[in-house]
Structure 1
Amino acid sequence: MATRTIWKGAISFGLVHVPVGLHTATTESGVDFDWLDKRTMDPVGYKRINKRTGKEIDRDNIVKGVEYQDGKYVVLSADEIEQAYPRTTQTIEIDRFVDAAAVPFVFLERPYYLAPLNKGHKVYALLRDTLAKSGKIGIARVVINTKQHLAALIPAGDALVLNLLRWGDEVKSMDDLDLPAQDAKRYAPSANELKMAKMLVEDMTGEWQPEAFRDEFKHAVMSLVEKKAKAGKAKTVFEPEEEAPAYADNVIDLTELLQRSLKGRGGTRKPAAARKAAKAPAKTAKRAGRKATTTTATKPTAKKTRKAA
């Protein structure tokens, strides 16, 4: 199934830019349980309730506060929060390259596929293959929907995967855990124990086949739902019509942001040798750009009729 491009930009390292599009790499596999009134089978929604008075309050009376001590909050205005947002860019800015094994799995949060855009396939493949052969991954920063993320750029077969990472202060320390130290002699296995353990691991070793694993709870629940539906035990729920919300939609037009960032971006002047080497490809790219513009323009349905003399 084709996935929608949710972000367009470029991978940047040194003077190299790789135009890419971001695609979701995962889907939610849990079971969604909706709240229903058992007497009428009406859907039950969420309300804005004052926890002290138990009364519903208007949206206009809601402010955002941050708890800095137990029970003490600092209220921030919408403008103050807006100022704190990171500067929106369309760049996956690589900060450094590290060994792939150096980043523990506990830091991995959410993966996305990156696909090349605008004839960037060759430089995309160059970066992918370089990372794969060197055993390195790129550590980068990226802003998605006004939120800044730390991310790892990882080669995976034909693709580059952008895996969002947890920030360093979001991963708890293991210092308080009662763990056996790797060099502790009292916990060191004997040669025979280690040999048998390795034999067991080798005996259980197989190929990674993700399709062989599934959410057993979801499968059991959906099988039960299908069985009861076929038995005529399904109930009809009528969703009440809701008025459109009074507040503005905060979805950002990423295409518009990309166009604005490209128009307002001043290029860094390259050295003379680099300009000379890039002169011929630049002319070719310019001609290709004019051709692309021509082909993407809306074609008229019929030829224009000449005006009468």
Structure 2
Amino acid sequence: MHTIWKGSISFGLVNIPIKLHTATEDKDISLRTLHKECHAPIKYEKVCSACGKEVPKEELVKAFEYTKGKFVVIEEEELEKLKKENEEKAVEIMDFVKLEEIDPIYYNKSYYMSPGEGGTKAYSLLRKALEASEKVGIARIVIRSKEQMAIIRVLENTLLMETIFYPDEVRSVQDVPNIPSVDNVTKKELDTAILLIDQLTESFDPEKYKDEYRSSLLDLIESKKTGQTVTPKETAKSTSNVTDLMAMLQASIDKTKPAKTATRKKTTAQRGKKKA
């Protein structure tokens, strides 16, 4: 597994050399843009909006637009100095909190942490302490020139670091439009909705869920490579014209009940065979 960052993490006077490895990967399929007439890739050139000239890499600078058309230029040397000043600091766990106190809206990206040279015992100590205390660590780290908050927790015997957004990076729910202030639902509607939820409740199995769009796109790409014809799978469409909320809930319950009942009967039968 590729190492993307090396450094150390500390809590109190304990210092642990660690390596970071990206825990997730984006498997989105990237499509190129071609010229329709000759099927050649389109180039994207850096052109100055003022003089219209193509600008070479050595003439590019970074800047912050503080108001429309007004910029503060930041030199590469200044950015490098800031980066070095921050990256030289050890990643420090500042606080320990209960995981359930952190709303998932704050989660950003996940990284596996492995011990660096000489850090095995301290790594094991932190892992065991987090498990025993049922807490997670709140830390600060600089990755790719960006200072980020992170939580340190245990996942299947491995320390996992999850970067989290700062509070000012999470938009306020108060800004969401058209949220009803009062729950205008009847007890019968609520009871029926809860019954539907209970009927659809399962233990979480991540292997159960697949990216159907990506699979279909890969099939299409493969078929076009080999000259085959692929017929798109038809999705079952609802023929119901029901607009009444209670009727829709009841129809949903009736639709899911047979499959759930059959599954339960099958599971019960399998258990009976095992006992026999």
Q: Structures share a fold, TM > 0.5? A: yes
Report which of the two has the higher share of helix: 2
Partner of 2:61: 63
- How far has the Cα of 1:203 moved from its partner? 2.1
Partner of 2:129: 130
Partner of 2:164: 165
- How far has the Cα of 1:68 moved from its partner? 0.8
8 A Cα contact 1:8 1:90, kept in partner: no
Residues of 2 paired with 1:118 and 1:61: CA distance?
A: 42
8 A Cα contact 1:9 1:90, kept in partner: no
Greater shift, 44-53 or 108-117, is seen at 44-53
What SS class does the counterpart of residue 87 from structure 1 fall into? helix
Any idea what the Cα deviations from partners look like across 1:173-201, whole Å, max 9, x if unmatched? 122224456xxxx4276555444433332
Count of residue pairs brought into register by the alignment: 227
Q: Using the aligned pairs only, state the percent identity.
A: 34
Q: Which amino acid aligns with 1:200?
A: L
Q: Which amino acid aligns with 2:11?
A: F
Query: Which structure 1 residue ranges, 5 or more long, are not aligned?
Result: 234-309
What SS class does the counterpart of residue 219 from structure 2 fall into? helix
Query: Which structure 2 residue ranges, 5 or more long, are not aligned?
Result: 230-276
8 A Cα contact 1:29 1:215, kept in partner: no
- How far has the Cα of 1:102 moved from its partner? 1.8
Residues of 2 paired with 1:209 and 1:64: CA distance?
A: 46
Question: Cα RMSD over matched residues?
Answer: 2.5
What SS class does the counterpart of residue 175 from structure 1 fall into? helix
What SS class does the counterpart of residue 199 from structure 1 fall into? helix
Greater shift, 115-124 or 64-73, is seen at 115-124
Structure with bigger RCO (C-alpha 8 Å, 6+ apart): 1
Q: Which amino acid aligns with 1:136?
A: K
Partner of 2:220: 224
* Equivalences for residues 132-211 of structure 1 within 5 A: 132-177=131-176, 178-180=178-180, 186-187=182-183, 192-211=188-207
What SS class does the counterpart of residue 163 from structure 2 fall into? strand
Q: Which amino acid aligns with 1:215?
A: D
Partner of 2:265: none
Any idea what the Cα deviations from partners look like across 1:210-251, whole Å, max 9, x if unmatched? 222222222111110101111189xxxxxxxxxxxxxxxxxx
8 A Cα contact 1:109 1:165, kept in partner: yes
Residues of 2 paired with 1:64 and 1:99: CA distance?
A: 40
- How far has the Cα of 1:28 moved from its partner? 1.3
Residues of 2 paired with 1:103 and 1:72: CA distance?
A: 39
Residues of 2 paired with 1:172 and 1:132: CA distance?
A: 32
Partner of 1:103: 102
Partner of 1:75: 73
What SS class does the counterpart of residue 154 from structure 2 fall into? strand
What SS class does the counterpart of residue 87 from structure 2 fall into? coil
Q: Which amino acid aligns with 1:197?
A: A
**TM-score w.r.t. structure 1 length?**
0.65
- How far has the Cα of 1:53 moved from its partner? 4.6
Residues of 1 paired with 2:206 and 2:51: CA distance?
A: 50
- How far has the Cα of 1:70 moved from its partner? 2.1
Partner of 2:269: none
Greater shift, 45-54 or 188-197, is seen at 188-197
- How far has the Cα of 1:119 moved from its partner? 5.2
**TM-score w.r.t. structure 2 length?**
0.72
Partner of 1:29: 27
Residues of 2 paired with 1:129 and 1:77: CA distance?
A: 45
Any idea what the Cα deviations from partners look like across 1:250-281, whole Å, max 9, x if unmatched? xxxxxxxxxxxxxxxxxxxxxxxxxxxxxxxx
